[in-house]
Structure 1
Amino acid sequence: MLRLLLLLLLSTWTGSAMVRVALRRVPSIRAQLRTQGLLEDFLKEHRPDMFNRRYAQCFPPGTPSLRLRRSSEKIYNFMDAQYYGEISVGSPPQNFSVIFDTGSADLWVPSSYCVSQACAFHRRFKAFESKTFQHDGRSFGIHYGSGHLLGVMGRDTVKIGDMTILNQEFGESVYEPGSVFVTAKFDGVLGLAYQSLAEILGNPVFDNMLAQKIVDQPVFSFYLSRRTRTSNPQGELLLGGIDETMYNGSINWLPVSVKRYWQVEMDSVVVQGAGSFCPSGCHAILDTGTSLIGGPTRDVMRLQQLIGATPTNNGEFVIDCTRLSSLPRITFILGGKEYTLTSEQYVRKEAFGINDLCFSGFQAFDIISPEGPMWILGDVFLTEFYSIFDRGLDRIGLAQARHPIE
């Protein structure tokens, strides 16, 4: 029956294209700040509640994103984002580097009217130079764990590769407090989650691509490489299709459990020979916007102990690089299928001077949801598995990513 439904869907889909978006992998903001010796001071100055109180008076009264204790760092963790690609906005096109983020649903880029220091270091949208720009007049606010973003809404033509999306709603940021966006290599964010997650009113980009029928299939898929300079491609987003050359074996399909994030039910998380987490089941979000794997604090703190990770003053967990071969495998069971990561895959190795530092790829995220405990499967997980996001049948496909032999 499922196969028949898929055939019927594809037979009635009249899209005309697929487009490949090359993704660049660069050091995360966290890694850059650490290298510069600025990470500890940065984290002290950017605790969410402190940031709320400091900047709340700068935003319109009643801005929903300014509610104290609202835990938005749960998904908007751009401190650890690594993969970016190019789009353009306006006519003639103005180019921007954006995170293609399955953990959010908004498109925003810096405005030429932005008053923040961060905007001076990035490309800014000049609405007055675009012949197709339509002013909206409404404002929006997005609360990130490292600061708040305020902007105004508009509509314009957006191009991704050879695809053109007409009358796309997007945000122009005019205020980006905090140094996280100063350090960021990206200009903005293009969210690929469901419309119900959007802060900006209107259709997200992929929803408009579906409405305008400009993709071959109502799916998009990600390939994220392990290596950086020697990998070709470093990463790739395919809009409108699946690339069978990017994975081995068959695809395991998982139904979306809640149409908000790309959220699925997870059977359990098993640490080799040392127990398991969420044995009665929980939920997981597949999120290309963060490089880490996140889970409830209680579970992740125990997991850090099981892999021999010790805390630092910055809230990170370090591991002795010489012990990697002795660390346990960690398995995520989704839809009855095991997805196993070795220590070489869940430990982030970063050069620091002449030495390497090894960091745990797990981080505590406490997400309050009606569905109960939530895990975030970020790039540490998605690097190993080709991921397919199917809006036609509201499901996610996972297959073993095909990486060059190292």
Structure 2
Amino acid sequence: MTGVLRYNTVRVSIEDTNQIFGLSESEPSSFLYYAPFDGILGLAYPSISSSGATPVFDNIWDQGLVSQDLFSVYLSSGSMVIFSGIDSSYYSGSLCWVPVSEEAYWQITVDSITMNGESIACSGGCQAIVDTGTSLLAGPPSAIDNIQSYIGASEDYSSEAVISCSSIDSLPDIVFTINGVEFHLSPSAYILEVRGLRVSHLHVSGELWILGDVFIRQYFTIFDRANNQICLAPTLN
């Protein structure tokens, strides 16, 4: 299907003409029916675009509607995506630039994953994708099992990885070292309250780690297509 997408922001109105998009007629487990959104805006590389469609950001760049070939994401209360811009009021400290290792998803190399200074996963390095379309933090089965065991998580009757409330304050950060820089995820980031329980927000995926919204809420993220790199900086909440 082809249509026109209009993006109205505080600063400018953008009209993306001749945009191909897909209409989902069914979803497993009523995914979109119960979700608080109407669809998914794909912002990865064209190589993984469905049906050979030109992704939205490529279209608006090709049409000269933005001045910089990058966009940034802030996830918190009042979350937003900023096309062709970086707003320093949303982050603190220095910007850490990380090269993309494969131009498909926004894929990068992680040096190590540690807790309390101990290697807990990703020994010798591993690959991860920074993905706003995934709400959780995910990794290979053995790595996730190691972390769940380390923090004392155990499955309940609904297969949720539950943590004892009394142990929350003593849990360590999960530390992702990326391009030589440490990025900490505190227990308050990777442990959530679900139906009155404290549940680990770590899940099993394939061989690639997925640094989803659990990670991006803590780190303002810039996706730089011109230079094939990602930038991370601590979010100001």
TM-score where L is the length of structure 1: 0.56
2:198 aligned residue: 358
Deviations 1:258-311 (A, max 9, x none): 000000011010011443311211101001111211010011011101011111
Amino acid at match of 2:158: N
Does the C-alpha gap of structure 1 residues 275 and 174 become closer, same or farther in structure 2, counting only changes over 3 Å?
closer
Equivalent residues of 1:287, 1:377 under 8 A apart: yes
Deviations 1:188-245 (A, max 9, x none): 11111111111232201011011011112111111111xxxxx4x2x11111110011
Higher Cα Rg: structure 1 or 2? 1
User: Secondary structure, in 3 states, of the residue corresponding to 1:172?
Assistant: coil
Amino acid at match of 1:269: I
- After TM superposition, list the pairs within 5 Å mapping 1:115-134 onto structure 2: none
User: C-alpha separation between the residues in 1 aligned to 2:84 and 2:169?
Assistant: 40
Equivalent residues of 2:120, 2:146 under 8 A apart: no
1:278 maps to 2:122: yes
- After TM superposition, list the pairs within 5 Å mapping 1:3-402 onto structure 2: 154-161=1-8, 162-176=13-27, 178-225=29-76, 231=77, 233=78, 235-350=79-194, 352=195, 356-366=196-206, 373-402=207-236
1:98 aligned residue: none
Does the C-alpha gap of structure 1 residues 177 and 384 become closer, same or farther in structure 2, counting only changes over 3 Å?
closer
Residue-pair matches, total = 233
User: C-alpha separation between the residues in 1 aligned to 2:168 and 2:100?
Assistant: 34
Amino acid at match of 1:173: S
Equivalent residues of 1:170, 1:200 under 8 A apart: no
User: Secondary structure, in 3 states, of the residue corresponding to 1:242?
Assistant: coil
User: C-alpha separation between the residues in 1 aligned to 2:221 and 2:108?
Assistant: 13
Structure 2 segments unaligned to the other structure (5+ residues) = none
User: C-alpha separation between the residues in 1 aligned to 2:167 and 2:140?
Assistant: 26
Q: Please tell me the root mean square deviation across aligned C-alpha atoms, in Å.
A: 1.4
Structure number with greater CO (CA < 8 Å, separation at least 6) is 2
User: Secondary structure, in 3 states, of the residue corresponding to 1:338?
Assistant: strand
User: C-alpha separation between the residues in 2 aligned to 1:262 and 1:194?
Assistant: 8
Deviations 1:43-79 (A, max 9, x none): xxxxxxxxxxxxxxxxxxxxxxxxxxxxxxxxxxxxx
Equivalent residues of 2:40, 2:133 under 8 A apart: no
User: C-alpha separation between the residues in 1 aligned to 2:27 and 2:117?
Assistant: 46
User: Secondary structure, in 3 states, of the residue corresponding to 1:222?
Assistant: strand
Shift of 1:181: 2.7
Structure 1 segments unaligned to the other structure (5+ residues) = 1-153, 226-230, 367-372
TM-score where L is the length of structure 2: 0.93
Shift of 1:320: 1.6
Equivalent residues of 2:100, 2:106 under 8 A apart: yes
User: C-alpha separation between the residues in 2 aligned to 1:387 and 1:291?
Assistant: 15
User: C-alpha separation between the residues in 2 aligned to 1:271 and 1:297?
Assistant: 18
User: C-alpha separation between the residues in 2 aligned to 1:317 and 1:379?
Assistant: 18
Equivalent residues of 2:121, 2:146 under 8 A apart: no
